[in-house]
Amino acid sequence: MIFRDLPIQQKLTRVILITCSAALLMMAGSYIVFEYFSFRKAEKRKVSILAIMVASNSSAVLAFQSQEEADEILSALRADKKVISACLYDSNGDIFALYPKNLDKKSLPGKPDVDGFSFKNGSIEGFQAVNQKELHLGTFYIKSSMRELYSQVRFNIIVALLLIAGTLFFGYFASTIFQRVISIPIISLQKTARNISEKGDYSIRAVKIGNDELGSLTDAFNHMLEQIEIKNQEITKVNQESSKLAALVESSGDAIIGISLELTISSWNKSAERIFGYSSEEVMGQPAYKIFAFHLDDQQNILKILRAGEHIEPFEKQVLTKENKVLDLSLKISPVKDSEGRLIGISKIARDITEIKKNERLIIEKEEHLRLATQSAELGTFDMDLTAGTMMWDPRCRELFGIYHDGPVTYEDSFLTGLHDEDRDRINKIIDEAFDINLSGGDYDVEYRTVSQTDKKLRWIKAKGKVFFDEADKPIRFIGSVLDITKQKQDELRKNDFIAIISHELRTPLTTIKSFVQIVLAKAKKNEDEFTIKALTRADSQTSKMSSMISDFLNLTRIEEGKFKLQKQTVDVSTMLKEVVADAQMINNTHPIKLSYCEEAKIEVDNDKICQVLVNLITNAVKYSATGSLITVGCEKVDQALKIYVQDEGDGISLKDQEKLFNRFYRVENEKFKTVSGFGIGLYLVSEILKYHDSKIEVNSTVGEGSTFFFYLEDVA
């Protein structure tokens, strides 16, 4: 690993050790060199002193040629172990004496040389002249070993190396301890930095150790972190905002398109892809006029307007899609500005209003049709906005209420006030029901009288309408038409009067006939005249039927004229049903009529009217089911209410017929039932009578399996 990649701890340790080693090496090296040279110098001096002394002592022996004495002087050199060899030359340059005595003369210089000493091959050697009072007597030669010096130098080198090794050893431990003073703050800083980068948590702070440069660095680092954290928070916020914005743009149902100042497309969201049919890749960087079919001039114009800081009102435009489909677009063009308010682009929000436009055109057409239709049919129209609480009446509608101004009309002041006193509560109630989707399904179909507030003129009106509901089934709009039916109504009233008179007039003789038939029948039973009994029984049941039919007519006319009145009393249901079933069985002997189990209950009703309801239902069942099939009448408690029903095993009623079953004069159109007699007023009366009792006739029927007619009444027991 190269030095600069080492961890800082190791670097510091190494730097300390290298510095120590260098210092020690220089010190030891210079010491050894100094030692070496000073030792050499000292050795040279020592040898030269020795040579001078020996030479001095040798003068006499050379002068007087005393071999013995010469040998003795030289042998004294053995005291110095370093001396390798020595000799005395006489004045002729011949060797006079030598040391050691057995030395081979050849190892010595053949001739003496000038005075002086030099180092040669690990030893020091040289000559010293022997003089006595200026008289040259000979020369002394000596050779001394330098081995000791060199071994001393070697020893010193080894000691120095050991010293260095020891110093490095302790230096290593010392530096590993002391380097922490520097490395720990740096490492802690580094750890903090790594921690931050790994966790991405900029709230972490480095711990400051000491007030040196590292302390300042830590402070600076922490300060930097603070700034990063602040910036980070800002960036996070901005990112969140922009991702929210991006999500909004992406999820928008409108096409949101960014256009650069060069008028090329710079952003294109999903809805833009969907609406225009071009993918993002196809249009990015393309000139905008290609897509929007604008002339370049228009674009430049738009840019000019936006640069001037002016506003462009939303506008509608037709463009072609990739598939050459014409689209109606609502366009909103806004400037895109940077934080300093400079224009950096244009944003276009395009909404596909093709369908709306189509509907608008359709509505205009329909309204025109309607206008023509209403004009020709003399229909008046009304339109109530239930959320805004406003009501629109056309002139015809106003006319039918005797209003001849163009001012605002209201439900209370114009409509309810305009109704005939006898109709007001009923109509108000029906409208309330129409506003309840569960009760009416929003259908409205009534007839009422209006009394003109200006000239008190009475009109009969047929109104038909529809209530519209929102997703929460809350009524929001109520529209419909009104038709003047005064003339028909007057005709009808005359007809009703006629029927009423006829019925009334027929009723008295019929009652007389019935009473006489019953007297004669009683008499025949006494005489046991079988034929007469049969004939009279038949006559009796037919008169009962006729009487019931007349009752229906009378009730019908009363309802039509609004003169229908209830005379309520508390009735025992069980008793009432028994009587009805017994009477019905007597009249209709073609079908078995059975009273199923009946709860003990009491109801508060107009007894005759409810009996009429049951008779009509039974008569109906008898008419529309095969001879001999069972008809069941019964009642049961459902929660607090009492359910009363009439069940047959007939052919059942189709769903289509079920809708209109209770309309006046409605008769099921079926080949099978062509022979069935009737006016189609039985079930209408049932329905009307029950309405007066705050109840409602309902039917459960499956074709081929029979029908069950039922209604609920409150149990007052």
Partner 1 sequence: MVIGVILLLLSSFTQRMPVNEYQVKAAFIYNFTRFIDWPPETFTGASGPFIIQVLGDNQFSSYINDIVKGEKLGGRAIIVQRINSVEEIHQCNILFISASNASEVKDLLPDLNRRRILTVSDASNFAKWGGIIRFFKEGNNLRLQINIDEAKASKLNISSKLLSLSSIYRGN
CA dihedral 148, 153, 154, 156 (to 10 degrees): 120
Q: Which residues contact 506 (CB under 8 A, 6 or more apart)?
A: 546, 550
Q: Is 190 in the site for partner 1 (CB under 8 A)?
A: no
Task: Kindly report the backbone phi and psi dihedral angles of residue 121, in degrees, each rounded to the nearest multiple of 5, phi listed first.
Answer: 50, 55
Min. distance of Cβ 49 from partner 1 in angstroms? Answer: 18
Min. distance of Cβ 139 from partner 1 in angstroms? Answer: 10
Rank residues 93 and 100 by Cβ distance to partner 1 and give the closer one.
93
Helices (H), 105-206: 147-199
Looking at residues 137 to 156 of the shown chain, list those that interact with partner 1 (rule: CB under 8 A). 137
Rank residues 133 and 674 by Cβ distance to partner 1 and give the closer one.
133
Selected binder of partner 1 within 1, 64, 313, 456 (CB under 8 A): 64
Selected binder of partner 1 within 13, 59, 588, 707 (CB under 8 A): 59
Assess whether the previous peptide bond of 100 is cis (omega < 30° from 0). yes
Buried b (16+ CB within 10 A) or exposed e, 138-153: bbbbbbbbbeebeeeb
Q: Are 398 and 409 in contact (CB under 8 A)?
A: yes
Q: Which residues contact 171 (CB under 8 A, 6 or more apart)?
A: 16, 17, 20
Helices (H), 528-624: 530-561, 573-587, 607-623
# residues near partner 1 by CB under 8 A: 20
Rank residues 129 and 209 by Cβ distance to partner 1 and give the closer one.
129
Rank residues 61 and 617 by Cβ distance to partner 1 and give the closer one.
61
Rank residues 52 and 451 by Cβ distance to partner 1 and give the closer one.
52
What 3-state DSSP class applies to 168?
helix
| Alpha-carbon distances of 504 from 492, 547, 678, 680, 699, rounded to whole Å | 18, 10, 20, 20, 32
Selected binder of partner 1 within 66, 188, 452, 537 (CB under 8 A): 66
Min. distance of Cβ 100 from partner 1 in angstroms? Answer: 23
Q: Is 75 in the site for partner 1 (CB under 8 A)?
A: no
Rank residues 64 and 597 by Cβ distance to partner 1 and give the closer one.
64
Task: Kindly report the backbone phi and psi dihedral angles of residue 403, in degrees, each rounded to the nearest multiple of 5, phi listed first.
Answer: -105, 130
| Alpha-carbon distances of 312 from 261, 304, 335, 596, rounded to whole Å | 17, 11, 9, 79
Selected binder of partner 1 within 38, 67, 410, 570 (CB under 8 A): 67
Rank residues 109 and 277 by Cβ distance to partner 1 and give the closer one.
109
Alpha-carbon distance 596 to 626, whole Å?
Answer: 20
Q: Which residues contact 183 (CB under 8 A, 6 or more apart)?
A: 8, 9, 12
Selected binder of partner 1 within 17, 32, 60, 336 (CB under 8 A): 60
Min. distance of Cβ 90 from partner 1 in angstroms? Answer: 9
Position 644, amino acid: I
Looking at residues 113 to 132 of the shown chain, list those that interact with partner 1 (rule: CB under 8 A). 114, 132
Q: Are 139 and 130 in contact (CB under 8 A)?
A: yes
x/- letters, 496..515, toward partner 1 (CB under 8 A)? --------------------
Q: Where are the beta strands (DSSP E) in 55-115?
A: 83-90, 95-99
Selected binder of partner 1 within 9, 57, 334, 654 (CB under 8 A): 57
Q: Which residues contact 61 (CB under 8 A, 6 or more apart)?
A: 67, 69, 70, 73, 88, 96, 97
Rank residues 93 and 166 by Cβ distance to partner 1 and give the closer one.
93
Min. distance of Cβ 67 from partner 1 in angstroms? Answer: 7
What 3-state DSSP class applies to 389?
coil
Rank residues 114 and 655 by Cβ distance to partner 1 and give the closer one.
114
Q: Is 324 in the site for partner 1 (CB under 8 A)?
A: no
| Alpha-carbon distances of 299 from 260, 292, 311, 312, 644, rounded to whole Å | 11, 10, 15, 12, 77
Looking at residues 229 to 268 of the shown chain, list those that interact with partner 1 (rule: CB under 8 A). none
Min. distance of Cβ 131 from partner 1 in angstroms? Answer: 9
Rank residues 129 and 261 by Cβ distance to partner 1 and give the closer one.
129
Q: Is 136 in the site for partner 1 (CB under 8 A)?
A: yes
Min. distance of Cβ 65 from partner 1 in angstroms? Answer: 7
Q: Is 63 in the site for partner 1 (CB under 8 A)?
A: yes
Q: Is 91 in the site for partner 1 (CB under 8 A)?
A: yes
Q: Is 110 in the site for partner 1 (CB under 8 A)?
A: no
Min. distance of Cβ 158 from partner 1 in angstroms? Answer: 44
Q: Which residues contact 75 (CB under 8 A, 6 or more apart)?
A: 99, 101
Tokens linked to 660: 């209109």
Selected binder of partner 1 within 21, 36, 69, 649 (CB under 8 A): 69
Rank residues 112 and 465 by Cβ distance to partner 1 and give the closer one.
112
Selected binder of partner 1 within 4, 106, 133, 674 (CB under 8 A): 133
Residues near partner 1 (CB under 8 A): 57, 59-61, 63-67, 69, 91-93, 114, 132-137
